[in-house]
Amino acid sequence: MTSRATFPRRRGRAGVVLAGVCALALSACGLRTAGGNVPDADLAGPLAQAPRLDGAEIKVGSKNFSENIILGKIALILFNAAGAEVSDLTNIPGSASARQAQLSGDIDAMWEYTGTGWLQYLTQPEAIKDQTQQYEAVRDLDLKRNNLVWLPPAPMNNTYAFAVTKATAAKYKISKLSQIAKVPAAERTFCVESEFRDRNDGLEGMLKTYDVPLDSPEGVPTKNLRTFQTGAIYDATASGSCTFGEVFTTDGRILALDLVVLEDDRKYFPNYNVSMVLDSRLEREHPEIEDLLAPVTAKLTDEVLIKLNAEVDVDGREPTDVARDWLVDEGFISPS
């Protein structure tokens, strides 16, 4: 995942090239992090009887965007509460640096995305439509190639999507992408990133999949496309600069701007479910990590991540505080 304003363009291929550079000299890519204090806490509720991690030493990393940092802080707080000695290496700049840090053993644990692993890191040509099959494929191949263990994924899926305002959804009675044709052709306007407009699995393929091809009488005229920087699309959509805006499904601005995400009912976009990835040595020595994380991972839905991301990106809260408060509210920990 390469960085952007709040969430990364993790779907791009540029990170693959950079990863090769990092493999030659990780220090040149800069394993610079902005880790901080890990709050002390006690395991509680469904984790009160969870296996302890006493004696474990775990270096936890994350990429440098809000969602991944929050998830990294959640893992740090849980591991610390279970008795492990933790090192906070969250906020690594860029996908390539973070991935190389894990491959080289500089970090032991990091949340990753199944689509990123399959398409970018393992350089597979096509995504797998079924979420379970996508997870199983990346799990098996990354273990075989790199001795990395992908634990079962969360329900959340931070993938591409298109959103509209609530007024637009109500006006045209649309809730899914297959209903784009219900909107008059003149009003089928799209705000997108330049990368998404041009890539093979981007806008043109999506419009074709949903029977409104680009530059066809029954589809979407090229003049209806508006190109924006990623962060500007949300405001542009909310303010009516376009009818449909390209978004990421767990971005906190969806909640803040009261947008409606349209269902990808023909499963065009790749799956980006998040999964904790462990060094195989750590997993072998401490298999209890899976049991510790399982109840927490199961709670990580799109709705939860949208809320947590908004607390950081919209409200300006610190990721550590957001992670700790969510764990307390869910009953997983109690402050020491």
User: For residue 35, what pLDDT is reported?
Assistant: 62
Q: Do 142 and 170 sit in the same domain of this protein?
A: no
Does residue 311 fall inside a structural domain? Answer: yes
pLDDT digits (tens, 9 = 90+) for 128-144: 999 999 999 999 999 99
Domain count, the chain: 2
Task: Dump pLDDT digits (tens) for 279-307.
Answer: 999 999 999 999 999 999 999 999 999 99
Domain C-terminal end among 261, 286, 321: 261
pLDDT of residue 110: 98
Q: pTM for this one?
A: 0.85
Average model confidence (pLDDT) for the chain? Answer: 89
CB of 161 closer than 8 Å to CB of 299: no
- Strands 225-227, 190-192: pairing is parallel
pLDDT, tens digit, for every residue of 226-262? Answer: 999 878 999 999 999 999 999 999 999 999 999 999 9
Q: pLDDT-derived band of residue 197, with 50, 70 and 90 as boundaries?
A: confident
Same domain, 240 and 282: no
Give domain status of residue 10, yes or no: no
Q: Tell me which amino acid residue 323 is.
A: A
Q: How confident is the model at residue 34 (pLDDT cuts 50, 70, 90)?
A: low
pLDDT (0 to 100) of residue 24: 34
- Residue 112 pLDDT greater than 50, yes or no: yes
Mean pLDDT of 207-229: 93
Q: Are residues 255 and 195 in the same domain?
A: yes
In a domain, 73, yes or no: yes
> Is residue 278 over pLDDT 70?
yes
Q: Domain range for residue 315?
A: 36-155+274-335
CATH no. for residue 297? 3.40.190.10
Tell me whether residue 65 is in a domain: yes
Is the domain of 148 the same as that of 292? yes
151 and 85, same structural domain?
yes
Average pLDDT of span 69-81: 98
Q: Is the pLDDT of residue 31 over 70?
A: no
Q: Kindly list the distances between the CA atom of residue 13 and the CA atoms of 18, 69, 124, 194, 287, in Å, as whole numbers in the listed order.
A: 9, 22, 11, 15, 33
Q: Does 114 have pLDDT greater than 60? A: yes
Question: Which of 94, 138, 99, 117 is closest to 1 using CA atoms?
Answer: 94
Distance CA(332)–CA(51), nearest Å, equals 14
pLDDT tier, 19 (very low <50, low <70, confident <90, very high otherwise): very low
Per the domain annotation, does 19 fall within a domain? Answer: no
**Is the four-CA dihedral 228, 229, 235, 238 of positive or negative sign?**
positive
- 316 & 303 share domain: yes
Say which residue the tokens 């997870």 belong to: 135
**Same domain membership, residue 239 and residue 307:** no
Q: Dihedral (C-alpha) 51, 53, 54, 56: value to the nearest 10 degrees?
A: 160
| Last residue within a domain, chosen from 261, 288, 308 | 261
SS3 helix, strand, coil % of the chain, rounded to 5? Answer: 45, 20, 35
Residue 41 and residue 148 in one domain: yes
Specify the range with the lowest mean pLDDT, choosing from 105-119, 170-184, 191-205: 191-205
Which of these ranges, 2-6, 95-99, 308-312, has the smallest mean pLDDT? Answer: 2-6
Q: Looking at the domain assignment, is residue 14 inside a domain?
A: no
CB 91 within 8 A of CB 34: yes
In a domain, 220, yes or no: yes
For residue 207, give the CATH number of its domain.
3.40.190.120
Burial label for 246, CB within 10 Å (0-12, 13-18, 19+), is: buried
Whether 29 is in a domain gets the answer no
Q: What is residue 16's predicted lDDT score, i.e. its pLDDT?
A: 37
pLDDT at 281: 96
Report residue 198's pLDDT band, with 50, 70 and 90 as the boundaries.
confident
C-beta separation of 85 from 58 below 8 A: yes
Q: Are residues 149 and 101 in the same domain?
A: yes
If asked whether residues 184 and 123 sit together in one domain, one would say no
On whether both 146 and 170 belong to a single domain, the answer is: no
Tens-digit pLDDT profile for residues 152-164? 999 999 999 999 9
**Together in a domain, 121 and 254:** no
**Rounded average pLDDT over 92-118:** 95
State how far the Cα of 305 lies from the Cα of 311, in Å rounded to an integer: 10
